[in-house]
């Protein structure tokens, strides 16, 4: 790592500069061959979600999107 920016240095950056920095960090994650292990508590949650999707995969995106918007409006 070349440099660590302090909180004040980060705050002094423009919004565009901070977004570019975030983008560079995000892009660098794609090039690594590392994986992050799941915490034990997440495994049953993901298993349940996969099982629910297998039982009911949902409908076309237009219907799913409409349902999501309807829930947000409540």
Mean pLDDT of 8-32: 91
Question: What percent of the chain clears pLDDT 90, i.e. is strictly above it?
Answer: 68
pLDDT at 1 over 70: no
The answer to whether the CB of 13 falls within 8 A of the CB of 21 is yes
Q: Return the pLDDT at 36.
A: 81
């Amino acid at each position: 790592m070349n440099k660590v920016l302090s909180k004040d240095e980060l705050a002094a950056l423009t919004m565009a500069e901070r977004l570019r920095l975030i983008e560079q960090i995000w892009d660098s994650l794609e090039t690594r061959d590392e994986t992050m292990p799941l915490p034990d508590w997440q495994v049953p949650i993901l298993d349940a979600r996969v099982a629910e999707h297998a039982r009911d995969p949902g409908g076309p995106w237009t219907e799913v999107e409409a349902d999501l918007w309807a829930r947000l409006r409540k």
